Amino acid sequence: MPPAVIASICLLLLPPPASARVAPDPADIREPSPVPSEIDRLVADLSSPRWSVRSAATEALVQQGEAAYDALRAEFRRTRSYDVKRRIRSIVEQIFLYAEASTRGGFLGISNERVDHSTLERIPPGEYWVLVRSVVADTAAERAGLRTGDYVTSLNGEHLTVNGVDFVTWIGQQTPGTKVKLGIRRTELQDQQIVDREFQIEVELGRRPVSRMVGDPRGRAMLDARQRFPLWFQREFDPGRTVDESHAIVNDPAWTLQPTGAGK
């Protein structure tokens, strides 16, 4: 092969000088898509076709508190779904009432009775147990598997003592989201015999539902907050008044809270 041809081939194989290289067009550079936050994912779940997903997202967003306002506001103004708008209004109302009425304590979700040795001989002297009279639906207690008739015998590994911490007061002093270990004594039927079973469960405390605050010492603050909420919501979320201000009801066909068919 002639030397001139070989030289030409070598020149073609060499990389172009830096000055000759074409810089990428900034318009062609794509920023990586931001990873959705937990709140963003929960807000997206409000549009799920599955009622159980929407319901779980609703509860979780209430637990997020005021930190969820921006994402909820953006979704409220973006969506055309009346169902989602009403659900967002319900979430925001609960967050607003919690904040305004200072109802920030933990909530287990049981009605209970304190019993001791004078009431039930099998309770050691000097201790008390908490009898679960009923379990409130969709609360920390129900999710943890507490049942009517259970006894709570210990708190975070310590037996409940007559001269020690008051169980109900202590729960109310905790922050929603606090994880608590409870000792449980349960009487149940096994192999046609009645047996007592003792075990530990972990419970993540929730917020006290607004519906449970009636008669609360903070009731005056709650009533005041309820009166102020409609105008506040209209100003902050719904200046066009696209959502009726009355509370959602199950027979409102535009507000499908109840599970139906395969959407459960």
Each domain of the chain, given as residue ranges in start order, spans 38-103+214-263, 106-207
Measured in residues, the chain has a length of 264
CA distance 103 to 97: 8
pLDDT digit string (tens) for 146-191? 999 999 999 999 999 999 989 988 998 888 889 999 999 998 877 7
User: What is the helix (H) or strand (E) element at residue 197, kind and residue range?
Assistant: strand 193-204
| pLDDT score at 117 | 92
Res 26: pLDDT: 54
Kindly list the distances between the CA atom of residue 164 and the CA atoms of 169, 170, 201, in Å, as whole numbers in the listed order.
11, 11, 21
Three-state DSSP at 192 gives coil
For residue 8, what is the DSSP state? H
Give the pLDDT confidence score for residue 200 in this predicted structure.
96
Q: Which residues contact 194 (CB under 8 A, 6 or more apart)?
A: 187, 188
The answer on pLDDT for 10 being more than 70 is no
* CA distance linking residue 115 with residue 162, whole number of Å: 10
Buried b (16+ CB within 10 A) or exposed e, 140-179: bbeebebeeebbbbbbeeeebeeeeeebeeebbebebeee
Q: Give SS3 for 58.
A: helix
What is the structure's pLDDT at 22?
54
Amino acid sitting at position 113? E
Give pLDDT, residue 263: 46
| Superfamily per CATH, domain 106-207 | PDZ domain (2.30.42.10)
What tens digit of pLDDT does each residue of 65-114 get? 889 999 999 999 999 998 899 999 999 998 888 777 655 678 899 999 99
Looking at the predicted structure, is the pLDDT value of residue 135 above 90? yes
Residue 193 binned pLDDT confidence (cut-offs 50, 70, 90): confident
What is the rounded average pLDDT of the residues 189-199? 83
Return the higher-pLDDT residue of 80 and 251.
80
